Amino acid sequence: MQRHKHLLAASAEVVHAVDDLTSGLGAGVRVYYASDTGTTEQLAKRLSGILKRRGVVVKTCSGMDELDLADSANSDDLLVLMTSTCGDGDMPSAATTLWEQMLEMNGSQKLVGRFCVFGLGDSSYEHFCAAAVQLDARVAKLGMTRAIPLAKGDDRAEDGWATAFDEWLPKLCGEVGAKPEDEEEYEALFEIASFPVTAADKNLPYQRIVPPGSLPVPVLENRRLTPESYERDIRHIALDVSATDLPFRLGDALTLYPKNLESDVDVLFNEVVTHLDRNEIVSVKCLSDDVPARLRSAFKARMPVKQIFVELLDIFGKPGRSFYRQLARLSRNIADVESAVKGAVEEVGQMKEDDVEKWFDEDVKAKKRYSTEAY
């Protein structure tokens, strides 16, 4: 009897080991995105990271210009397409070749497999998520099975595209058998090394980070169009491109990379993240393929901690619900943060963006506690 139990235990270990070895060979997820401004790419990489941390095999997370539709469709993998819309309801540049390929496929070329589509856009725009709608309909017409209904991330929603994404994600996770959120296995995205500030560092001129594919140009005008009382800050921005080779066509999308005011960042260091040295020079190594291209490019060079806060971090935007859920999970002081999160998720969720700063300002000590104990 004892020997029988031993053999059963040993066989179970072998089966488990085989499962581990073959997990990457079975059905998984393939994520493809089309992004002109980079937002959809960042969301696709975020999705890829979430799925991996929940035990799902992500075969690829790439631009749609790398998608071989017949190869991806005729497999057991779930095909996830994520796209924005540009111009007059047109496909982003990364999706044009794929779209033309789909249109050329006749009725006899039926595809098999499962797919789902997530679109990003602004519902005030006449052609809201038009590219996603067209992709969703065409892929279904070509024979693939729609695993999850089309989802539309709306920049006008309470939490922007995150409102629809947070509703869509559990459906996707259920479809691919992902682990529950509370079993998500977090891994570091970055490795940070610090260096002492030398006299030479102090004398170096400040160099603004220029994201890949972008150009620095002067701003001629930055004027708010909506009243101060209106919850959305819509602006008219004029740029001087006279000295820059920046050709454009009517309907082109233009990405602007704002930065935080240095005076606001100084207040943050003085009152909240007091344990950090804003002048410390750091080297940041990206450990994951899911890090967006903008950060991957920026971190090729060493830089002061303050510059990261000024140019790369959205530290004054309205926190989303997912932020508080992750805060509770990653906090060292779980009891304190979970207690605060219960009310904060609903409270901040109902706030207008301008009110968030007031909410934080009500208790400076609480801000310090979250920044030092929670991370």
- pLDDT tens by residue, 37-90: 888 998 999 999 999 999 999 999 999 999 988 777 678 899 999 999 987 888
- Fold for 2-183, please state it: Rossmann fold (3.40.50)
For 363-371, the CB contacts below 8 A with 24+ separation are 364/271, 364/272, 366/340, 367/271, 367/272, 368/271, 368/272, 368/274, 369/336, 370/327, 370/337, 370/340, 371/272, 371/273, 371/275
Q: Is 191 exposed, middle or buried (0-12, 13-18, 19+ CB in 10 A)?
A: exposed
d(CA 347, CA 338): 14
Among the listed residues 216, 308, 207, the one whose alpha carbon sits nearest the alpha carbon of residue 256:
216
Task: Say which DSSP state 94 is in.
Answer: H
- pTM for the whole thing? 0.70
* SS3 of residue 236 by DSSP: strand
How many helices (DSSP H) and strands (DSSP E) are in the chain? 14, 11
- The better pLDDT of the pair 23, 198 is held by 198
Which amino acid appears at position 98 of this protein?
L
Inter-helix orientation angle 364-373/262-271, to 10° = 80
**pLDDT for 147:** 96
Judged by average pLDDT, the poorest of 170-174, 247-251, 365-369 is 365-369
d(CA 114, CA 209): 41
Judged by average pLDDT, the poorest of 96-110, 144-158, 209-223, 337-351 is 337-351
d(CA 237, CA 220): 8
**pLDDT for 164:** 94
d(CA 325, CA 346): 12
Over 284-305, what HEC string results?
A: EEECCCCCCHHHHHHCCCCEEH
How does residue 171 score in pLDDT terms, banded at 50, 70 and 90?
very high
Among the listed residues 47, 12, 41, the one whose alpha carbon sits nearest the alpha carbon of residue 296:
41
Residue 11 has pLDDT above 80, yes or no: no
pLDDT one-digit tens code per residue, 273-296? 999 999 999 999 998 877 888 899
**pLDDT for 4:** 41
d(CA 192, CA 234): 36
Residue 200 has pLDDT above 60, yes or no: yes
For 343-351, the CB contacts below 8 A with 24+ separation are 345/321, 348/318, 348/319, 348/324, 349/158, 349/159, 349/321, 351/318
- Quick one: average pLDDT of 136-153? 94
Considering the chain, tell me which residue range(s) the CATH 3.40.50.360 domain(s) occupy.
Answer: 2-183
Cβ contact 145:115 at 8 Å: yes
How does residue 150 score in pLDDT terms, banded at 50, 70 and 90?
very high
Backbone angles phi, psi at 373, to 5 degrees: -90, -30
**pLDDT for 23:** 40
- The better pLDDT of the pair 285, 358 is held by 285
Backbone angles phi, psi at 326, to 5 degrees: -70, -35
